[in-house]
Amino acid sequence: MSRRRDQRKKWMKRKRGSQKEDSQPEQRMSSWVVSYLDILGYRSLLHKIDLPPDFETEEQRRVVEQAFIPPIRLRRRLITLVRRSIEGLSEPANLDHIPRESRKIVADWHKAKVMRWDGPDNIVLATSLENRPGHFPIRGLYNLIVTVASTMIIQLSLGADDPNQTLPVRGGIDLAIGTVLQPENFLYSAAYLRAYCIECQKAIYPRTVAGERLMDYLNHLSGDSMEIRYHNTLVTRIRSMFFQDMDGSIVLDFLGDAVRESLGQSRDGTNLVANAWNYVKAAYAAHRESGDERLIAKYEWLIDYMKPRLRSWRVEE
């Protein structure tokens, strides 16, 4: 009888421990910045392949299989662009100009983690604002913003030869408290919802709009230690990557001077922007012929946005 009681006590103890584990986040709460990027117009591609799963002939099957290629290629290419950008920004910095005694500290300031989750027509990027080993928060935010900006440029440039080969990207960015659940490796945070709602409701055009919380965070500077001065320098640089659009939205200036300086002025950059410009002009002309006013308005926004910024990239109209 006593043995049965002991077994029951052990079972109850394990059950309480399991319930406790289920009720607690595996990682402590911290502030997270999330960017939700969506391929603009991707839904129309999916509608074209939304067909009944029965085929009368093999020829019909081959036609449908061919129809799947463009949207799959578009999604895979975007994922590759984002992954490579994150990897490139995560490479160790050249610290030869830094005094030897300060190199380890500065090297730590360049370490950051940006997480990524891929959806059917979207990509979610996230970075924590909690300072922890191997992650300097403001560097993580800087890498996230630059990744979004470079992705928007390259995505446009891929349609230079054939406008049907690409579609613009639209996005939203904001922050909220959250935690990463393990073993799922999934960010549980309202920042995801905030970024998604901004993309769906406010972005409208091929642009990335920032939320109020993010801008409030970037407008807060304090302290005077060496680390805080470096933090503030990056905050100032990130702030300069946004501008206020005609409708009052705070928008990522992906072709602005701050992004150009961060990516580095080079012939490759000039070629990318020139290709992006050629795509936008061709896509705009095609949509004007189709008479789709909603699409025309989106590309008109791109034309008006890009035109005054071309000269700084050494691109002619």
Residue 138, CA distances (Å) to 53, 150, 177, 217, 268 in order: 49, 18, 16, 11, 27
pLDDT at position 103: 59
pLDDT at position 25: 46
Q: Which residues contact 146 (CB under 8 A, 6 or more apart)?
A: 85, 89, 259, 262, 263
Question: What phi-psi label fits residue 94: left (phi over 0), alpha (psi between -120 and 50 degrees) or beta?
Answer: beta
pLDDT at position 57: 81
Looking at mean pLDDT, say which of 84-98, 105-119, 138-152 comes out highest.
138-152
Please give the residue that has the higher pLDDT: either 99 or 174: 174
pLDDT tens per residue across span 6-42: 656 555 555 555 554 554 545 679 999 999 999 988 8
Which of the following CATH numbers is that of domain 26-267: 3.30.70.1230, 3.20.20.70, 1.10.287.1400, 3.40.109.10? Answer: 3.30.70.1230
Residue 95 reports pLDDT greater than 70: no
pLDDT tens per residue across span 140-179: 999 999 999 999 999 999 999 888 889 999 999 999 999 9
Cα 264 to Cα 259: distance, rounded to the nearest angstrom? 8
Q: What's at 112, amino acid-wise?
A: A
